[in-house]
Homo-oligomer: A and B are copies of this chain.
Amino acid sequence: MKDDTVQTSDALQHQFPLEGWGITENQLDDWHHLLSETLFALGNGYIGLRGTAEEGNQRTAADSLNGSYLNGFYESESIQYPENAYGLARTNQFMLNVPNAKCLTLMLEDETFDLQQGRVDSYQRHLDFRTGLLTRTLQWTSDQGRSLRLHSQRLVSFENKHVYAMSYEVTPLNFSGEIKLLSAIDAAVKNITAGDDPRVGSAISGPVLHKLEVKQENDISAFLHRTHNSGLSLATAMQNHLQTESSYTSSLQQGDDKLEQQFTIRAVQGQIIKLDKFCSYFSSRDYPAASLLSLSQQALGKVREQGFAQLAASQQAYLADFWAQADVHISGDAALQQGIRFNMFHLLQSVGRDGKTNIAAKGLTGEGYEGHYFWDTEIYIFPFFLYNKPEIARKLLEYRYQYLPQARERARQMSHASGALYPWRTIDGEECSAYFPAGTAQYHINADIAYSIKLYMDATADMDFLLTQGAEIVLETARLWMGLGHYTRLPGHDTDSFCINEVTGPDEYTAQVNNNYYTNAMAQMHLRFAADIVRQLQAEHTEQFAELAAKIHLQADEANAWQRAADLMALPYNKERGIHEQDDSFLNKKVWDFANTPKENYPLLLNYHPLVIYRHQVCKQADVVLALLLLSDQFSLDDKRRDFDFYEKVTTHDSSLSTCIFSIIAAEVGYQDKAYDYFMQTARLDLDNTHGNTHYGVHTAAMGGTWLGIAYGFAGMRIKKGQLSFAPVLPVQWQDYQFRVHFQGQLLEITVNQTHVEYRLLRGTALQFQHRGQSLQVTEQQAICKISLHQAELIHA
């Protein structure tokens, strides 16, 4: 069960001034460390650093989590069940809190700089989405009256995934004397323990990282560690570069869990002391363990040569390019504008892009869900990258291909003689869900992955990917449905249907059902897609297809069997009510007594036994409603409206994956107020901490869902017969909005204002697309196409 749920009890919030390109904290906030550390986190898809200050947080541990994470770098532990059963996930993997290399301790004579002591004269912290810098500027006076100015900057390099850097400037304002700067790597770090909260990290006690080697020479200090169970090695290194006109000495210190370089400076009042610190992580997931220390040295040598300013310039250039391709602009709603860019910035910071890593439910910003990857990637986040940075989208698919062998192995464990079953939650490809009713039972993960490959092929026509990886994934996962489902005559039917029993759909408030609509409809799409691929490759890439068929022992009749199962797929529909049934029995369950459920009893899962929830007609999140979006073509607008009306009444949105989908369908069926309300609940979910658990990390799926809300929702973007299609509306709260879409190598900008829609080809030669069913074109020559917003507009009250 993924209980990424609203915490109604005294959810902490952190109020930021509204601004377009960043978040700023203008006052030291002593009480929201855990929350602000998440919001001010930096990352590059590989390294993630929570926004803890360099000098740490000297308050109690519960207030702060000084987390440093590496995407895909995990420790494993055996899962203990109070009652065991065959085939349950055996080993958990969790994203490890790795040695903290950003430690800086500042001493003024015998006093230690500590914002919780002395007096803070001025303070500002700023995270800038365009520079990628986390900056802190403050003035502080110690208990003994020494005043200093501090200006620190930090970045995690987008250019070089192994590197991050800091610049730390101290100016003594009213004194001269000895200043010490202690720059350290602290390896005495731990993951937080879970207690009863399933949303946070694992409860391994005892040390996880074992020291293998230490290197300290010149200005470089480095640890080499190995994890206890997963057997992964990691080099953590730092290089310090002090710039000052004052005289100083430097020395190296070594402790069991600490490597330190101490600078003792004869500081002069008014003279800036500047320490640039460069840090790196190299792990055996990328390189042989024996080479990690020397790789660290080389990398640090290189960035030291570049210097902090050069790294900052590269960072800014990378982001300039990103925003040029991906920015979403909204006029008239500053809060939303900030939320959307915050979300996109964090997505970029969180996403793995090396084909070996993916994007965790909480990105690299916290330990919620233990750094696991879910279907969130394919259904909620993948489209954002596909249409904005398609090269990253491909890497996300390559990750799935990388772990196809484990998915095959899991299928065998689940007694399937052929095919592959992807894990519900994982880091390294193994099933890590310890609650199968809302884990392994969510077989739809297979179709979700196939769906994202279909989306990818539509948007990129990347045959190389299909031939080398994509087809193999789609075919192997399609096979699983054949073993999972079977033909039977359902009550009230005249013919046999292909039925899929004992699965859980997206809605985790309904578990282990028969013929979950979403699952079956997505399986139908999946089986047809797989059969299409077979036909296409057989015809057009005969030789490569033969190789693939041989590799996976594909039988001649399999594609036909897939087609038949798809054609006869059971898709529960209630004729009387004209709605799609979430599963065979959903409509026969008792409707949840919403009227008598007090507000504090939400999220339901924290207040009712699973059996009580499962027994009722109540949804945690979009299920049929998600199918209405993903398989949009298969439903009439009336269908969609009836389904929306019905499921809205029984959905709690206790999951953060829900409101964005409801917003999109509301926009489509003409419920503009609802579309806007649901969208607002998604777009500032983390910035306003509306689910009350952002301190465990950001909600990357909702962040992806924000972009979907703009593109799929308000702009009505769909893929129809391989073409982009739009049906834009403009919320009354906005003056205009603008976003961009990469499609088949071209870049289209869509601007919607109160009267017009403007389609502009920013890159490429020519693009055909549809606007409310009307075929339009932009070309290099005629790059702009303007059309009245309300033309052919269908709005249903």
Binding site for B on A (CB under 8 A): 1, 79-88, 92, 196-198, 413-415, 433-437, 440-441, 484, 486, 488-492, 499, 501-502, 511-512, 514, 584-585, 588-590, 605-612, 614-615
A512–B611 alpha-carbon span in the complex (Å): 8
Give chain B residues whose Cβ lies under 8 Å from the Cβ of A492.
491-492
Q: Using CB atoms, name the residue of chain B closest to A484.
A: B615
Query: Do B609 and A436 have beta carbons less than 8 Å apart?
Result: yes
Q: Using CB atoms, name the residue of chain B closest to A588.
A: B488
Q: Show 12 residue pairs from A and B whose CB-CB distance is below 8 angstroms, ordered by the A residue.
A: A80-B80, A85-B435, A85-B610, A86-B610, A413-B609, A414-B611, A436-B610, A436-B611, A488-B590, A501-B615, A502-B611, A512-B611
Copies in the complex: 2
A197–B605 alpha-carbon span in the complex (Å): 30
Give chain B residues whose Cβ lies under 8 Å from the Cβ of A92.
82
Query: Do B590 and A501 have beta carbons less than 8 Å apart?
Result: yes
Query: Do B435 and A606 have beta carbons less than 8 Å apart?
Result: no
Query: Do B434 and A615 have beta carbons less than 8 Å apart?
Result: no
Give chain B residues whose Cβ lies under 8 Å from the Cβ of A198.
83-85
11 extra A-B contacts, CB within 8 A, seeds A86-B609, A87-B611, A414-B611: A81-B81, A86-B608, A88-B609, A415-B608, A436-B610, A441-B611, A484-B615, A488-B588, A490-B588, A501-B615, A584-B585
Given contacts A82-B435, A86-B607, A607-B86, A612 and B415 within 8 Å (CB-CB): yes
For the complex of A and B, the 7 pairs showing the least CB-CB separation, nearest first, are A87-B609, A82-B434, A83-B435, A502-B615, A486-B590, A83-B434, A415-B612
A576–B86 alpha-carbon span in the complex (Å): 36
Q: How far is the CB of A4 from chain B (nearest CB, A)?
A: 13
Most-contacted residue by chain B among A197, A486, A588 (CB, 10 A): A588
Give chain B residues whose Cβ lies under 8 Å from the Cβ of A440.
609, 611
Secondary structure type dominating chain A contacts:
loop
Q: Using CB atoms, name the residue of chain B closest to A416.
A: B612
Most-contacted residue by chain B among A88, A198, A609, A614 (CB, 10 A): A609
Given contacts A440-B611, A441-B611, A486-B590, A82 and B80 within 8 Å (CB-CB): yes
Q: Using CB atoms, name the residue of chain B closest to A512.
A: B512
Give chain B residues whose Cβ lies under 8 Å from the Cβ of A588.
488-491, 499, 501, 514
Q: Using CB atoms, name the residue of chain B closest to A615.
A: B502
Partner of A605, one of B82, B86, B196, B608: B86
A56–B648 alpha-carbon span in the complex (Å): 68
Most-contacted residue by chain B among A484, A489, A615 (CB, 10 A): A615
Give chain B residues whose Cβ lies under 8 Å from the Cβ of A484.
615
Give chain B residues whose Cβ lies under 8 Å from the Cβ of A609.
85-88, 413-415, 436, 440
A514–B615 alpha-carbon span in the complex (Å): 9
